């Protein structure tokens, strides 16, 4: 009989799910309950001299019970794995963010000759933060969907022409959004088809701003979205790891005004990846909206984009 009160050590990779998984979903019960039921059917059939057709009917009910328990077990394990992935996201983000702050303190307390080394270390910590966040968010959605072909991309704001980062989205449109991180298992060929950054006044960025930076954009058909001005097809859209996408704005407030400091994308090959998953993404984007402005304001992310890109021209949402 399970304990009424117990402690779950969330750092343990195996034990937690054994403690919290419901009784009917435990493997020994998934096998034992139908197995015992089938023995009862056979014994009852022998004692009562049931014919074969009657035994087959009862056996069919037992098999349905087994199937139901297996589905229930899979669902429960997916919930637990999703919760573990969410915990990993918040835990790792906290730890990496603290490492970034420590690296910043080391850089600022060092004399000029040592600053470059600490600056490089600082940039490495920021990159590690971005990569870990993207991978953990992808893991969450992989467990939610039960599909490994689910990925995450983070794009962050850069400025063009020396304008302040928080003043470009709603006003001049000189904001550019470049890829800061992708989850680890996206198609590696994307590196060979890297396109220009997303511009604030075009495509998905403009769409999110036009919607007052509220909600998310669900892209199930990219060709149709392109006709509506929401998307522009790129060579990278031929890769199957981004057949469907959901995009959310990463927002912050400055002087009472909402600004988009980045965008969060989830892509998936799964046909079950639909708008019902939008709320998960919105929650993760709000969480990042707390951390990234702090990183921007501390100057931990390079805000200047030096690429020779003509403003107001082509738009890209590919994940190069």
Q: Alpha-carbon distance 258 to 94, whole Å? A: 24
pLDDT at 73: 73
Domain that includes residue 20, residue range: 15-75
Can you tell me the distance from the alpha carbon of 129 to that of 194, in angstroms, rounded to the nearest whole number?
22
Q: CA–CA distance from 99 to each of 46, 95, 105, 129, 252 (Å)?
A: 69, 6, 10, 9, 22
Are 178 and 291 part of one and the same domain? yes
Instruction: Tell me: do 48 and 155 sit in the same domain.
Output: no
Does residue 136 sit within a domain?
no
Say if residue 69 is in the same domain as residue 160. no
Considering the domain architecture, whether residues 28 and 152 belong to the same structural domain is answered as no
What per-residue confidence (pLDDT) applies to 8? 59
Tokens of 315: 């738009």
- Whether residues 22 and 162 share a domain: the answer is no
* Nearest-angstrom CA–CA distance, 166 and 254: 7
pLDDT of residue 197: 75
Residue 286 resides in a domain: yes
- Boundary of a domain, candidates 54, 75, 96: 75
How many domains are there within the chain? 2
Q: What is the pTM of this model?
A: 0.73
Does 48 share its domain with 170? no
- Does one domain contain both 229 and 312? yes
At residue 305, the pLDDT reads: 36
| Mean pLDDT per 10-residue segment, the chain (320 residues) | 58 53 57 63 61 70 73 74 83 87 80 75 86 91 82 79 39 67 78 70 83 85 84 72 84 79 87 79 90 68 36 29
């Amino acid at each position: 009989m399970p304990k009424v009160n117990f402690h779950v050590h969330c750092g343990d990779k195996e034990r937690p799910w054994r403690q919290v998984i419901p009784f009917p979903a435990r493997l020994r019960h998934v096998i034992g309950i139908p197995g015992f039921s089938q023995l009862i059917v056979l014994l009852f059939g022998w004692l009562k001299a049931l014919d074969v057709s009657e035994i087959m009917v009862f056996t069919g009910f037992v098999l349905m019970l087994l199937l139901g328990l297996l589905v229930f077990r899979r669902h429960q394990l997916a919930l637990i794995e999703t919760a573990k992935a969410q915990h990993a996201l918040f835990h790792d983000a906290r730890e990496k963010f603290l490492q970034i702050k420590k690296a910043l303190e080391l850089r600022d307390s060092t004399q000029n000759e040592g600053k470059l080394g600490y600056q490089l270390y600082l940039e490495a910590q920021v990159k590690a933060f971005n990569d870990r966040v993207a991978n953990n968010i992808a893991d969450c959605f992989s467990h939610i969907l039960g599909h490994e072909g689910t990925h995450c991309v983070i794009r962050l704001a850069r400025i063009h022409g020396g304008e302040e980062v928080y003043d470009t989205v709603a006003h001049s449109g000189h904001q550019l959004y470049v890829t800061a991180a992708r989850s680890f298992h996206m198609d590696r060929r994307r590196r060979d088809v890297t396109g220009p950054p997303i511009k604030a006044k075009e495509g998905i960025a403009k769409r999110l701003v036009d919607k007052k930076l509220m909600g998310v954009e669900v892209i199930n058909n990219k060709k149709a979205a392109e006709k509506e001005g929401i998307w522009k097809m790129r060579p990278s859209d031929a890769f199957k790891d981004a057949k469907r996408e959901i995009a959310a704005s990463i927002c912050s407030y400055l002087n009472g005004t909402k600004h988009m400091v980045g965008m969060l994308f989830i892509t998936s090959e799964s046909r079950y990846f639909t708008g019902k998953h939008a709320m998960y993404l919105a929650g993760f984007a709000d969480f990042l909206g707390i951390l990234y402005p702090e990183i921007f304001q501390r100057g931990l992310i390079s805000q200047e984009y030096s690429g020779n890109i003509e403003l107001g021209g082509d738009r890209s949402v590919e994940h190069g």
